[in-house]
């Protein structure tokens, strides 16, 4: 298995478990004695996945299994290709030969992640031990008309490019710019690609790829990523992520689990009214019309801006260069973001708020105006933190969500041995 093109914004490795909690797979307690061999092997793999590499004695202690049982099962897992011996850690305090150390063979399976945005789609494949093997970015327009076929073509194409076996795909996580019914996986009211409405995306992909598929709104998966060990606020108990780019939305994670809402529509704030509209000529009256990058560019033109500003980064650059119209738009955006953060803090009471999406790229420019607002009035409890993952937060969250299905996949694979 070879590691290929990786985007610099995407972590090169991910946590072993999206949930970040117990590594014991759910459901093992219900196994009858005839399944105990498989159940115990998965318990061993779970500990290896959580800790990286372990000697037999530690595996016995963590699982409660006898050392001879661990020895026998680890040997069997090695024969099956799921475990290999790792280099022992040097320990000068120990006399004699160090004990053998074992690891999960990450190359024994792979998970896929996709972030299908309004304009750009990001994809990646990662090994079972969290190493990102290959990633790419492409225009969403290239798969938008035939979404299911397009996603499958891209995943299988990347697997072939990375020299992966077709049957090695353990799970796929998909973040998408649409509400997703949490029970059925059906897409609902996408803001731009209206032909996606009603597509049972999770079911179709699951059926055709032959593996577990998790589909969620991209903002929800961004929140999952931001509280992981590779995110902006690792280990925090509750986080709200405000994603602003071509679209706008909110995700929230509590105890490393994203909130979706009863119908998968948590955080759909695009139709919230803007707070500052008096005396300001705007391209609309809602956050989805005005605070997204297209809305800010339109406001710049309305204010008489002369530069060739086409996106958020261009707007921030013009503001930094002293362009009066750009500075006025950035000031309006910063104060509007501060107001949204205030509303989110009052409603959700999170431990942290993270600003993600394309607009996070201009955080330093926005921060000056948000600080001015926070200093002049007690209207915002704390400034949002800039995302360390940026545009790659939903993709990272998709990979983490897929990794949460690895242990059930291993259970199925071992049940057939």
Q: Are 226 and 393 in contact (CB under 8 A)?
A: yes
Segment 15-67, tens digit of pLDDT? 754 333 334 444 444 444 458 889 899 999 999 988 888 999 999 999 999 99
pTM of the predicted structure, to 2 decimals? 0.87
pLDDT band at 321 (very low <50, low <70, confident <90, very high): very high
Instruction: Give the chain's mean pLDDT.
Output: 88
DSSP class of residue 237 equals S
The burial class, CB within 10 Å (0-12 / 13-18 / 19+), for 76 is middle
Handedness of CA 311, 317, 319, 325 (dihedral sign): negative
- What top-level class would CATH report for the domain 238-387? alpha beta
Q: What is the pLDDT of residues 205-232, one digit of tens each?
A: 999 999 999 999 999 999 999 999 999 9
pLDDT tens digits along 329-346: 999 999 999 999 989 999
The residues spanned by each domain of the chain are 28-106, 108-226+395-407, 238-387
Secondary structure E strands in 119-211: 120-127, 132-139, 169-176, 179-180, 187-188
pLDDT, one tens digit per residue, over 366-415 is: 988 888 765 554 444 568 999 999 999 999 999 999 988 898 899 889 98
Examine domains 108-226+395-407 and 238-387 and report if their fold is the same. Answer: yes
Give the pLDDT score at 17: 46
Domain at 108-226+395-407, CATH class: alpha beta
pLDDT in tens, 82-108: 999 987 665 555 555 678 899 999 889
What class does CATH assign to 28-106?
mainly alpha
Closest listed residue to residue 131, CA positions, set 237, 44, 238, 52: 52
Pairing mode of beta strands 169-176, 212-217: parallel
| 183, pLDDT greater than 80 | yes
């Amino acid at each position: 298995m070879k590691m290929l093109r990786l985007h610099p914004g995407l972590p090169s490795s991910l946590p072993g478990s999206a949930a970040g909690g117990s590594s014991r797979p759910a459901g093992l307690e219900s196994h009858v004695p005839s399944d105990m061999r498989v159940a115990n092997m998965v318990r061993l793999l779970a500990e290896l996945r959580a800790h990286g590499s372990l000697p037999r004695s530690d595996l016995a202690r963590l699982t409660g299994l006898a050392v001879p049982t661990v020895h026998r099962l680890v040997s069997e897992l090695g024969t099956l290709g799921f475990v290999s011996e790792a280099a022992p850690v040097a320990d000068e305090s120990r006399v004699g030969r160090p004990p053998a150390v074992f690891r999960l063979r990450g190359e024994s399976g792979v998970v896929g992640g996709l972030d299908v945005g309004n304009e750009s789609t990001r994809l990646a494949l990662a090994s079972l031990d969290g190493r990102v093997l290959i990633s790419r970015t492409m225009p969403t327009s290239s798969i938008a008309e035939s979404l299911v076929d397009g996603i499958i073509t891209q995943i299988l194409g990347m697997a072939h490019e990375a020299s992966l076996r077709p049957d090695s795909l353990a799970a796929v996580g998909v973040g998408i710019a649409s509400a997703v019914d949490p029970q059925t996986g059906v897409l609902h009211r996408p803001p731009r690609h209206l032909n996606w409405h009603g597509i049972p995306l999770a079911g179709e992909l699951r059926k055709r790829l032959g593996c577990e598929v998790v589909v969620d709104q991209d903002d929800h998966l961004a929140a999952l990523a931001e509280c992981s060990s590779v995110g902006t606020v690792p280990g925090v108990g509750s986080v709200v992520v405000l994603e602003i780019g071509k679209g706008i939305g909110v995700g929230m994670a509590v105890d490393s689990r994203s909130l979706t809402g009863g119908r998968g529509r948590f955080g759909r704030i695009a139709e919230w009214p803007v707070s500052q509209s008096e005396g300001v000529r705007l391209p609309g009256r809602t956050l989805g019309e005005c605070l997204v990058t297209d809305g800010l560019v339109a406001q710049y033109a309305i204010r008489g801006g002369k530069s060739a500003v086409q996106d958020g980064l261009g707007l921030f650059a013009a503001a930094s260069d002293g362009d009066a119209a750009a500075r006025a738009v950035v000031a309006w955006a910063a104060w509007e973001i501060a107001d949204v953060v205030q509303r989110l803090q009052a409603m959700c009471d999170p431990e942290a708020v993270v600003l993600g999406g394309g607009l996070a790229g201009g955080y330093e420019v926005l921060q000056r105006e948000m600080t001015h607002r926070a200093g002049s009035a007690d209207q915002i409890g704390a400034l949002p933190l800039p995302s360390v993952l940026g545009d790659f937060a939903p993709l990272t969250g998709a990979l983490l969500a897929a990794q949460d299905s690895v242990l059930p996949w291993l259970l199925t694979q071992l049940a057939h041995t």
